[in-house]
Amino acid sequence: ITQSLTHIYDNLLKTKEKLSIEQEKLFKHLQFSKEGLAFFSKDKRIIMANNLFIQYLNFITDNTLSPSDYLFKEANLKKINNFISQKLYEQNEQEEFISESMVIDKGSRTFLIECIIFQDHTFEIAINDITQQEQESRLKRQLTQNIAHELKTPVSSIRGYMETILSTEMDDSRKKMFMERCYAQSKRLTDLLRDISMLNRLDESKDLYDTDNTDLQKIINEVINESQAALTEREMTVETRNLHERMSINGNYSLLYSIFRNLTDNAIAYAGIGTKITIDCYLEDSKYYYFSFSDNGIGVPEEHLNRLFERFYRVDKGRSRKLGGTGLGLAIVKNAVLFHKGEIWVKNGLSGGLNILFSLRKV
């Protein structure tokens, strides 16, 4: 009997030690969890709560007392508190647990609050900061709406022109004019779809873009030559500074071209007749090229500067559409710069015009 008791005692010690280890693991998990967690007894006393739960709760309720002093009286959490009061004492043997959730906005942040009541009438409250998810979801909805709107305009125009051609007797010259307008709108539609596709690939499949040794000076000269007709029409000039042979970078040719081409097209469209574009590699070190792309045009009102790289954002919506832009050029520039491990900023120049500063990593 003594041996049996000794054996049982040893097993109890081992079991107690294992339970202690598991308890310690649970405590550490709670403290390092990225959500606020708290467990409560059936009489609403806190069994355990991590620091994040206390911080989130204090932020939501503007209260620094112990949660047990105010949590179940808090007006902001009325839905959760009503659920707890209603369900806590119901006899429900069939479900392992029942749950309720709510979303609350506080200041500039959004929180998801969830409550689970277990079979023994203890319960858990979890608080998650979902601000970033909500912002991303909102941006996706806005992007979808913007895409639908931008696609609708050229498609409606093409349809209108074609219906006019089919339903109206007209001479060849007028018919040609309508066909040219259809072609211009179809080109705009093609450009829009191309830009959307490029941005999607940059967002989701950066590995689809191969990198190779690329000459930046060659790309810049190519962009200037291909834009010469538009520059001449607008009586604009381009000056390059501090460019030299063998400005090599391990990058993607198409994306690097799109950076300088979109910036040039944007300046041609908005800087103003008779203005000058300056492309300056004002600094170079062992890792980066630092560029300034500026013009001496009309610039942009300060309140618009921090939104210039947003998709479909337009300072002057009516004028932008008349000029045929897709509204995605500067967004592509930003993402292409980020792809090449650089950063980009925008400001108005001291003497007028817009100045876009960006860096490109060499390797």
The CATH superfamily of 33-129 is PAS domain (3.30.450.20)
Q: Which residues are registered as beta bridge partners of 110?
A: 105
Is 335 within 8 Å of 195 (Cβ atoms)? no
Is residue 102 scored above 60 in pLDDT?
Answer: yes
Is residue 319 scored above 80 in pLDDT?
Answer: no
Grouping H, G, I as helix, E, B as strand and the rest as coil, residue 356 is strand
The CATH superfamily of 209-363 is Histidine kinase-like ATPase, C-terminal domain (3.30.565.10)
Closest by CA to 111, choosing from 79, 139, 73, is: 79
Residue 28 tokens, joined: 């550490």
For residues 332 and 338, give the distance between their C-alpha atoms in angstroms, rounded to a whole number: 10
Domain boundaries, the chain: 33-129, 130-207, 209-363
Which position has the higher pLDDT, 312 or 286? Answer: 286
Lowest mean pLDDT segment, chosen from 197-211, 213-227, 277-291: 197-211
At 317 the pLDDT is 54
130-207 adopts what CATH topology?
A: Helix Hairpins (1.10.287)
CA 244 to chain centre: 36
Which position has the higher pLDDT, 200 or 268? Answer: 268
CA distances from 201 to 198, 206, 231, 300, 329 (A): 5, 6, 30, 29, 15
**How confident is the model over 82-99, as pLDDT tens digits?**
998 888 777 655 566 788
Whether this prediction's pTM lies above 0.75 is answered by: no
For residues 275 and 351, give the distance between their C-alpha atoms in angstroms, rounded to a whole number: 13
Q: What is the CA radius of gyration of the chain?
A: 31
What's the mean per-residue pLDDT of the chain? 85
At 11 the pLDDT is 85
Do 130-207 and 209-363 come out as alike in CATH topology?
no
